[in-house]
Structure 1
């Protein structure tokens, strides 16, 4: 059965940690599945290979595998998770998130056998960069929250 990635690029417009950590501190900016059509080595490096998820010794060691959902997901993410649990129970797995700041520290060429230029992830990262250029915030307030469906 085909496995797909779901999730949101989330942002917080707040400038202090207390507000960012509040129940409604985040909003959905980009539906990840609208940009990432296929999982590739970048997906595996960030979150784990959905087709080899239970392997204790994966070829590519994921950075942010199985962290669970953030404690205060955006309402769009909460709604999607609720809908999936109601309409397609047991079809989702691998809930996790990663901060954009963590992604910026990754040397993709060092970890992968592919050129990032060949990946849909580059498009998503560029979209995030455009947003960041127009919005200055002193704390890291962009995260990617994802899960897989089968």
Structure 2
């Protein structure tokens, strides 16, 4: 019996994402596990302080569309079917926790820059995911 049957890799859309994806794909193959690919788009109002007097819904829609397109590209490249690609809007840590519970995930894979000092005090998504997860979390060191 395999340790993991459903793995979710949560990526940002930076150039480092393939490093995290490759590790998650290898793990899913080793465990013969289903692989889910997730990205959380932060709400535009949250990212820009929330007090800008304009309608940001069009920008939010563009970010969402761009994320879906990028996930589809990664899905095609890494063999992850469309039904296993998830784009959601919210705070990354809480959305990843919610998705992992909702989808019955037993391992979440995230990237980590391994920051220290003031950057660490400001928090990181990997740290936030680790401290609230109800399943195992693998933080892949990004070079």
Query: What TM-score does the superposition give when structure 2 sets the normalisation length?
Result: 0.29
Q: Which has the higher helix share?
A: 2
Structure with bigger RCO (C-alpha 8 Å, 6+ apart): 1
Query: What TM-score does the superposition give when structure 1 sets the normalisation length?
Result: 0.28
